Amino acid sequence: MENNFSHLRMWASADGAVILDTQLGTISRLNSTGAQVWEAFRRGQDVETIAVDLARETGEQIEALERDVRDFIQTLVAQHALAD
């Protein structure tokens, strides 16, 4: 996936984040975990690294987190909150 996010603006708080797509004029809301995943992916981290970090924080199994992170990223791409 191409990591070109120049048209996206994110505002984050402890509760999550809001992403504004300046090209499409859309707004996406993320909970705090979603915001953490979005920001890590935007910085160029791969799914496996994001899952390992989440597993360390939550105690969840890495395999399940990798699947969840992949699904979440695909959802963000479909909603144009991430560039594909």
Considering the domain boundaries, does residue 84 fall inside one? no
Tens of pLDDT along 34-44? 999 988 988 89
pTM for this predicted structure: 0.77
Mean pLDDT across the chain, nearest whole number? 87
Residue 51 phi, psi dihedral angles, 5° rounding: -65, -40
Question: Is 40 within a domain?
Answer: yes
**Local structure of 36: helix, strand or coil:** helix
What residues make up the domain containing 69?
Answer: 8-78
Tell me how many domains the chain contains: 1
83: in domain:
no
Digit-coded pLDDT (tens) for 18-31: 988 888 888 889 99
**Any alpha helices (H) in the chain, and if so which ranges?**
32-42, 47-58, 62-78
CATH number of residue 67's parent domain: 1.10.10
Is pLDDT above 80 for 83?
no
Is residue 56 one of the residues assigned to a domain? yes
Residue 1 counted as domain residue: no
